[in-house]
Amino acid sequence: MQTVHIDQLVDLDADRDLREDRGDVAALAESIAELGLLEPLTVIPREDGRFTIYAGHRRRDAVRRAAELLVADPDHYDLSAEQAAARAEQLHHVPCYERPDLAGRDVLTQIAENGERLSLTDAERARGLQLALVDGLDARAIARATGIKLATVRAADKVAALPEAAQKALATGQLGLDEAASLDEFADDANAVERILRGSHLGYALAEERHKRDRKAKAAQLREQLTADGYVLVSKPKDFPWSSREAELGDLADAEGNPLTVAEYGLAEGHAVFIDSASYAEPRPVHICRAPEAHGHTRLRPTGYVSPDEIARREAEEAARREHAEKMSAARDVRAKFLRRLIGSQKAAAKHTDLLLTIAARWPDLIDAGHRHPLAEQLCPQPEQWTPARIQQCAVATAVLGIDDHAERLRGWNVKHEAALWWWDQLTTLGYDITPAEVEHRAATQAAYTAEQAARAAEQAARAAAEAEDEEDEDQEDEPGADEQDCEDCEDCEDCHAAPTQTTAAGCQWTADTDETGQDGEHDAPAA
């Protein structure tokens, strides 16, 4: 390597130079003015004593620019005019690699230098800038020396304090240096940084975390204020408000039916407040009663909450239902034997066609339920086996099994209690010894039927009262007024319906009474 004066350096011929635009060398010139030329040029000696540049045209241009900058503004580099002039003169002596072996290979040299060079990654650049700052160098001086923007230098300083997740994202290329620096406001919150990095849009994730942070700060301020005011703070109850025991004060009423207020009940025993900050709305206090029923409050809107007493009642009811179902299952086996004797043969079934006719006439839709009965396969033979007698047996069995299956139902849609009661009575009449479970079931059916009839009677009475009221209103509307009694056309008085001896529109007197012969009353001529 040797030093060559800048005036001895010659460019390649224009038709051999691969670069059409050498670009802006201002940043590189700043670096050279501060640190000097760090990477020598590659040159080829010429016969006239000068040197052709094979690699380093931009560096040569940047050296010239750096010398001009030093002379023009020495203060910028903390130099005197003499020092700046001396450094500029020193820059004019350019270090060069003399490579005569590359003569004639200028194109390959340019491709190798510019095509194979690898730039520093953002992580590598950030680490270098961080080390320079650790060494005590000023950010502005680093920017001048490296040609890197001052904002990028400062971004590298911010990245140094970020959590490990951000450092990895920078190293793997998930984030650029400037993007990583934007996480600086969450440097003390590793969880927030991880959530941001999981997002697909950095700007949106940052905005969302800022919103969460602001809500958290407002919630903390609200919590502090509520505590100072003497309220009992609790966490949000599980499943609130849909099926929790706790309820908001505004959804409760006192014994007189008045809605509860925070002013009256907020500080009362058994009442508390939690801060609702789960949504994107502003955090707000929610005042609640922790056990409304225990404090004599009533709920103003239905919820899914079930009190312990109600749970116990339901469990007892379910246990009773299961016990009853077991008893009825055993009773069904006993009743099945009776039904097989009653209609299990063609001859026996023929004796009970009256059952078929009654059921078909009164409750024809129950016949379709016959196939659900456990005895259906036994008592209803397949169609290919049917004879006229078997058809009769199958029809009787289907009707009987249909109403028998329905009689075991107590609740549900379209339950016909009247049909069930009729069938239990028929079984007794036919000689069946009804079991205790069935007696209990029939009593429950009778109670349900009685309640159903009472409700129906009340509904009919209410409907009749409403119809009577409507008729009374219509009669009042139809009652004629005095002005409706005048005739509008009294030419022959055929349509005159005025009251007796009323003066008509034509001025005649008309008597509504009939004479002795049954003829209509006569008209008196109007007075002259």
pLDDT at residue number 389? 86
Map tokens 């051999």 to a residue: 16
Measured between alpha carbons, how far apart are the two ends of the chain, in Å? 152
> Distance between alpha carbon 104 and the CA centroid of its chain, in Å?
72
Question: Which uninterrupted H or E stretch holds 282?
Answer: none
pLDDT at residue number 98? 92
pLDDT at residue number 115? 52
C-alpha torsion sign, points 504, 506, 508, 513: negative
Cα dihedral 180/211/272/247 (nearest 10): -120
Judge contact between 2 and 96, C-beta under 8 A.
Answer: yes
Rounded to an integer, what distance in angstroms lies between the CA atom of residue 431 and that of residue 116? 108
pTM score: 0.47
Q: What is the DSSP letter of 182?
A: G
pLDDT in tens, the chain (528 residues): 899 999 999 988 887 776 766 778 898 999 999 889 989 999 999 999 999 999 888 899 999 999 999 999 999 989 999 999 999 999 999 999 999 988 877 655 675 666 545 456 788 778 888 887 888 888 888 787 777 788 888 888 898 889 999 989 888 889 888 888 899 999 999 999 999 999 889 999 999 889 889 989 999 999 999 999 999 999 999 999 899 999 999 999 999 999 999 999 999 999 999 999 876 678 999 999 999 999 999 999 888 888 888 889 999 999 999 999 999 999 999 999 999 999 989 899 999 999 999 999 999 999 888 888 888 888 876 777 678 888 898 899 999 999 999 999 888 788 999 999 999 999 999 999 999 999 999 999 999 999 999 999 999 999 999 888 888 777 776 665 544 444 444 444 444 444 444 444 444 444 444 444 444 444 444 443
